[in-house]
Amino acid sequence: MAFQTGAAMLDACVLAVLDSRDVYGYELTVYIKSVIDISENSLYPVLRRLQKDGCLTTYDQPFNGRNRRYYSITGDGRRKLAGYRSDWEEYKKKMDLLLGAAQTASAGSVPAHPVTTTNL
């Protein structure tokens, strides 16, 4: 994929997954990797940062003789996720406008620009 996944996008992805249920680290990594192209090691710093910022908590559960570390979203994490979702909708609309404008322009008709010189 040509588009880079920045830190804010990774934060949003992690929080979105955890919004529905608690997940242990490896399971979270596998799931996110199945959707976007990231390295396996890139999510653990994100998890640590979100935990440090109060967006996540952790707890351990025994599984087959070892502990799995589960991550759980907090109230602060849900508020941050709501902000990311709002920002995403705005960003997506703008990108759809630009990318759709490119299609329209290639068809021979340039759409009216939303900003005029009187707005500047």
- Pick from 64, 77, 68, 59: nearest CA to 29: 68
- Asked whether residue 98 is assigned to any structural domain, the reply reads no
CB contact at 8 A, 60 and 67: yes
Q: For residue 60, is pLDDT > 50?
A: yes
pLDDT at 93: 93
- Asked whether residue 60 is assigned to any structural domain, the reply reads yes
Residue given tokens 């960003």 in the structure block: 91
- Asked whether residue 114 is assigned to any structural domain, the reply reads no
CB contact at 8 A, 93 and 99: no
The 10s digit of each residue's pLDDT in 72-115 is: 999 999 999 999 999 999 999 999 999 886 565 555 555 555 55
Q: What is the mean pLDDT of residues 49-59?
A: 97
CATH at 41:
1.10.10.10
Q: How many residues does the chain have?
A: 120
pLDDT at 40: 77
| Domains: count for the chain | 1
